[in-house]
Amino acid sequence: MGDMRNLFVKARGLMFNWQKILFYVFVGGIILVANAFRFYALDRVPYGFHVDEMVTALNAYCLSTEGTDVRRNPYPLFPETMYGSPKPPVYIYPAILWGKIFGFEAPSFRAFTALSYVFAIAGLFFWLRRVLGLRAAMWAAVAASISPWPWMYSRMGYESIFELAFIVWGLYFFFHRDDWRHILPAAIFFACAIYVYPAARLQVPFIIFSAFLYRLIRKETSWKSFGLLLVMVGILLIPLGHELMGNKGLSRRLSEVAIFSPDVLTAEGLKGDFAGLWQLFWKNYGKHVTWKFLFFKGGDNLIQTTQAFGILGWFDILGIVAAFLLGLRCLLMRGKGDHLFARHGWFIALCISNFLFAIVPSALTNVEIPHALRMMSGAIFVFAMTGLFLSETDKILHWGSWGSLLVAGVFLVVFLRIYFLQYPQNSKGMFWFWSQEQARAAKTNEDWFKFMVAHRGQDYHVMYYLIFYKGGEGCNSSRTKWELMQKLLSSRGL
C-alpha cells in the first residue's frame, strides 16, 4: 500500500512539473509572438508616415551624409526640427549608426523604436524578478508585451518611447546593489530618460525620489548613496541645462502646448493667475482618468489608440480585478496573516504614486488632451502592479495562472486582428498616406514639381520623398529645391 502511495506521489509530482513546463512554454510563446508582430509590416502599418518619423529619418540621414541637421546646423546637440521638440542626442546619434546598418528610411527607424521597447520589456522583467520574484516578473512582461498603450508608439519611428527602456534599466541598477558600480549606470540611464523626452524631466526625478524612499524604508540604501546618484545625474544633465537656457527650439514647443501659454489661456477663457491655471490643470488631469480613456476608447487621436480599447487592455483590467479580489480577501482576514498588502504595501504605493504623477506633465499641456504618450512612464508601474497582483492570485487559485494565460492569448489575437486589418485604414489620414501614394506615382520631373507644389508648406515631406523615393538627391540639394520652389511660387503670387 505504501509503495502505491509513493508511486502516486511521484506521478503527481511529475505531472505537476510537466504542467509547469507547459505553462512557461505558453507564456514564453505569447511574449515571443507579440514582440515578433511588433516588427511585422512596419513599412505598411501604420499606412504612410507621420511627420515626426520623417524628421527623425531626415536628421539622421543629413547628419550622417553631410554633417548637418535638416536646418543646416553642423552637429548640434539637439538637431532642430521646427516641428515638435528638437531631437535629443541620446536618440539621434545612435540612430545614425542604426541608419548606416539598416537604412535611413522611416520603416527602419520604426524597427529601431520596436527594438528599444523589447529592451524595455527585458529591463522590466529583470528589475521585477529582483524585487518581486519570477512569477510577477513574467506576468509583467506579458502585460508589457500585449498592452495597447505602448504598442501604438513602439511601432513609430521617433524617440519618445525610448524613455521606458532608460527608466526601467535605471531602476534595475538602482535596485541592484548600493555601490557606485551600480549607481553610475543607474544615473546614466535616468539622465538619458530625461534627455530623450520632455515629460520625463518631471517624471524621472519623482521616480528616483520615490524609489529611494521605498528602498530607504526597507533599509536597502542610504542618504549617502542617494546623494551620490543625484550628483552623477546632475553632472550628466549639465549640457541639457545649458541647451534649455539657450536653445529656442526646446522652449518653443513648451510655449506651444503648456497651459500657462497666453494663447492657451485666452482660448480657454481663463486669466493667467494661479486660480485659472489650477482650474485648467485639474480639468486636464481629470480627462486622463475617465473610464472612456482608460478602458474603452483611449484618446481621440488615432496615433495613440485603435479606439477599440482604452489605453489599458483586457490583461491590465484582469490585474485590476485581481487587485480588487485580493483587497477583499485582506478585509475578510481583517488584515491578519501573511497577505499581499503586508508584504508589498510599500511597493504598491510606489507604483500607484508614480502612475498618478505620470499624468502631471500631460495635464500641464493643453494640446490633444488626454495624451497617452506624455504619461507613458506610468505604464511601467501599471505593468508592475499587474504582475504582482496576478502572481499573488496564482498562489490562491490553482487554475488562476491558466485563466490569466487564456485572457492574454485571446486578447492578443483580437488586438492584432484589429490593429493589422482595421487600424491601417482608419488611421491613414493621420500618417499623410496621400503623400506616399503621390510620391510613388511620380515618374517625371514634372510629376515631382507637382508633388512639391502640393506640399509647399511641408518641407520635410518634400525632402524625405525627394531623397528616398525620387533618388539622386541629398539633404542640402533637396532642401534647396524646396526653397527655390517656394521663391518661384511667391514671385507668381501663389
pLDDT averaged per 10 residues, the chain (length 494): 54 61 91 97 93 93 94 89 82 96 96 97 97 96 97 93 97 92 96 95 97 95 95 95 76 75 71 78 94 93 93 96 90 70 91 97 90 96 97 87 94 97 92 92 92 90 94 92 86 76
Residue 406 falls inside a structural domain: yes
Residue 484 falls inside a structural domain: yes
| Structure confidence at residue 81 (pLDDT) | 75
| Structure confidence at residue 421 (pLDDT) | 96
Asked which of 387, 415, 430 is the last residue of a domain, the reply is 430
Q: How many domains does the chain have?
A: 2
Residue 1 falls inside a structural domain: no
Residue 444 falls inside a structural domain: yes
**Is the distance from CB of 63 to CB of 75 less than 8 angstroms?**
yes
Q: Do 417 and 442 share a structural domain?
A: no
Q: Do 404 and 322 share a structural domain?
A: yes
**Is the distance from CB of 430 to CB of 302 less than 8 angstroms?**
yes
Residue 62 falls inside a structural domain: yes
Grid cell of 462 as nine digits: 518634400
**Degrees (nearest 5) of the Cα angle 279, 358, 387?**
140
**Is the distance from CB of 41 to CB of 421 less than 8 angstroms?**
no
| Structure confidence at residue 250 (pLDDT) | 66
Residue 257 falls inside a structural domain: yes
Asked which of 430, 450, 483 is the last residue of a domain, the reply is 430
Residue 450 falls inside a structural domain: yes
Residue type, 351: C
Q: Do 152 and 264 share a structural domain?
A: yes
Q: Do 420 and 315 share a structural domain?
A: yes
Q: At 159, is the secondary structure helix, strand, or coil? A: coil
Residue 2 falls inside a structural domain: no
Asked which of 377, 411, 430 is the last residue of a domain, the reply is 430
| Structure confidence at residue 333 (pLDDT) | 76
The CA distance from 97 to 361, in Å, is 31
Q: Do 268 and 229 share a structural domain?
A: yes
Q: Do 400 and 437 share a structural domain?
A: no
Q: Do 472 and 368 share a structural domain?
A: no
Q: Do 35 and 183 share a structural domain?
A: yes
Q: Do 138 and 284 share a structural domain?
A: yes
Q: Do 436 and 426 share a structural domain?
A: no
Q: Do 363 and 267 share a structural domain?
A: yes
Q: Do 103 and 230 share a structural domain?
A: yes
Range of the domain at 342: 8-430
Closest CA to 276 of 285, 288, 262, 265: 265
| Structure confidence at residue 269 (pLDDT) | 72
Taking the model in full, what pTM does it have? 0.93
